[in-house]
Structure 1
């Protein structure tokens, strides 16, 4: 008789699945330069595509989070990946702007369905370890990083209709996940495990969670703003689409490094709020380097921004779950969904700014977001640090 799978094995399945799912999230910015060039769409229309990919996700992801707090919905993990892949597959052959927006909205719906259920299961499997959760988030960032490597050659060689071939990774992962779904469902009990520094689950802290949500929204403005327009900027400066795809790949790759660094540092130094504050300060010079450095050297600014922008990524998720220990699905749905996707809602406005001024001006304007986060961070505290101090610990 086959032995039950352990938590480490469950974590691995969830991590790989997260990478495959987020590959399709990363495929959206990778496709934008090709769609804009093929159809002659303006910056505002390109921003509208990002809006289409994120609006439905932002609206529905908290709902999926609320549902996963009340029911066993492990099936949303393979179902969400399937929808996300289908949306990307149909976006290339779409013959009109409206049809492309609709396809990307389907992708966003799939992303919305996937994340709350997967993040809730991952938290239980991680048993309160920030490093383990950072591996889960890292795998998603790695999936985003792989997207340009997969999308760019496929579309460049075979045209936009070749996005249909991008269904393949999802189909493989869905088969694996469905086969292992009984083991995954075993983790579907309400996840209230907190870091070892917290002796008992505190009450839900909605005031702190609202401040965290504002913080994640401000970060997402930079994430989606860069994802939408940095490739277009590098393409224009170098005269080749290779530079733009390299920028997206570098942004995601350095973001993956930042994600892992955030988890390691949080386990070592405990105070996640301080880490987030320091990372936000470092985002500003990175953005300005993208704006002022010429040609390919702008990639240096992309690298600095990527690391700094993603150090807080997994920390936002675990903080949200710690602020709402009784509603882990809801916390995951908001921090990975509504708040993260909110940045995409501003993409058309950023496109209008770029059209009225220039792409460098629009990207420079993104530096206002990390600066605005600093007053919010001054009102926040890490609940794990607070609990340790109450017990007479080193903090």
Structure 2
């Protein structure tokens, strides 16, 4: 039985909480008077701890089976976001966001390993697993904005419910695949030779991609006017990612992963520029185009990383899904500082450089031979 849909549902649950943090930003600005630097610090809190510890979880999952970590991490991610809205203290809000980031960090390495087993080497199946996470992102503003608009930040404890439901839905797949994962580990590490130079270059590509995407997710709602207009912008940004992820998997089946990655970043450059330079409702089109272009190579990053490090699949997953993605949040306060010193438009204009850097680095990467799952 194909377990990918169940794993995709779990991925959607965890990444819902990554999307929930940017969705909280307008309410924190309106309800507590936080400035750009303060709210970017909240986004940073959700990514900083994740950036630091996610590779550690990857190393651990290379050595031991830890399927129990998947449902536990979901609950941690949900609890952190739930607490963000009920604490008037900035320090406690920051710590709650960090707790959510810890849950996200703990989830991805083991889930990516199980998804690799379930996908049986199919780029399309892995793209559906990644799409689950993207749909979780997309659903965050749709659920968070009406809830908090109607009931205020005090209603945030209700946001723990998706974590509970996600854990319940995912448990059957975890139990079924844990045995397969154990058998695979019992046979020893994957065959092949680790290509660290290529993996480092891939990591830099993902870091550049992360900076521009996290910058957009943190500030595009405010840039488009906040309120309903901002919620629509976030939804378009996150939903476009689902389209891009599936399209990337299918395109890679024809063109190859590296060529698809290069094409995606080439298209991302004018798309991000359009968000900043095109006025009015037409900017939503470029928000969607940016999301599609930035997410098309997302699942490909994961399988490329695993094939570059075939004996360290957990480590590769922790970096490609965790450290390199989350580290973009470290640039959030810098974007906020530029916004306060100049303007939000100027700050977002700075992001245009990063898909250019990703494209240049992607041109130095060659397609690896697929490693055994």
Which residues of 2 match residues 23-102 of structure 1 at below 5 A?
23-102=16-95
The answer to whether the aligner puts 1:259 opposite 2:252 as a matched pair is no
TM normalised by structure 1 equals 0.90
Structure label with greater radius of gyration: 1
- Which whole-Å CA distance do the structure 2 matches of 1:175 and 1:266 have between them? 33
Partner SS state of residue 298, structure 1: helix
Secondary structure at the counterpart of residue 186 of structure 1:
helix
Please say if 1:208 is aligned against 2:198. yes
2:233 alignment counterpart: 247
Please state if 1:111 is matched with 2:104.
Answer: yes
Inter-partner Cα distance in structure 1 for 2:370 and 2:166: 38
1:378 aligns with 2:358: no
Q: Distance in 2 between matches of 1:82 and 1:132?
A: 26
Counterpart of 1:217 in structure 2 is 207
Long gaps (5+) in structure 2? none
1:171 to 139, 144, 164: 164
Matching residue of 1:150: 143
How far 1:184 sits from its partner (Å)? 3.2
For the aligned residue pairs, the C-alpha RMSD in angstroms reads: 1.6
CA contact under 8 A between 1:74 and 1:181: conserved in structure 2?
A: yes
Residue equivalent to 1:280: 265
- Provide the C-alpha distance between the structure 2 equivalents of 1:252 and 1:297, rounded to a whole number of angstroms: 17
Aligned length, in residue pairs = 367
> CA separation in 1, counterparts of 2:173 and 2:8?
14
Counterpart CA distance in 2 for 1:51 and 1:19 is 21
The CA deviation at 1:180 is 5.2
Q: Identify which of 327, 337, 340 aligns with 1:352.
A: 337
2:9·2:170 contact (CA, 8 Å) conserved in 1?
no
* Distance change in 2, residues 1:64/1:190 (3 Å): farther
1:202-254 Cα deviation digits (max 9, x unpaired): 2011111011111100000011100111101001xxxx511111011001111
Cα distance in 1 for partners of 2:79, 2:100 equals 7
Distance (Å, rounded) in 2 between the aligned partners of 1:140 and 1:260? 12
Q: Distance in 2 between matches of 1:187 and 1:136?
A: 18
Runs of 4+ in 1 over 6 A off after TM superposition: none
> Are the structure 2 counterparts of residues 179 and 264 from structure 1 closer, same or farther at C-alpha, using a change threshold of 3 Å?
closer
Structure 2 equivalent of residue 329 of structure 1? 314
Q: What is the CA-CA distance between 1:46 and the residue it aligns to?
A: 1.3
Note the alpha carbon deviations across 1:130-166, whole angstroms, 9 max, x for none.
0000000001001100111100000000000111111
TM-score by structure 2 length? 0.95
- Any stretches of 5+ residues in structure 1 without a counterpart? 1-5, 193-199, 387-395
Match of 2:349 among 346, 358, 364: 364
C-alpha distance in structure 2 between counterparts of 1:181 and 1:277, whole Å: 34
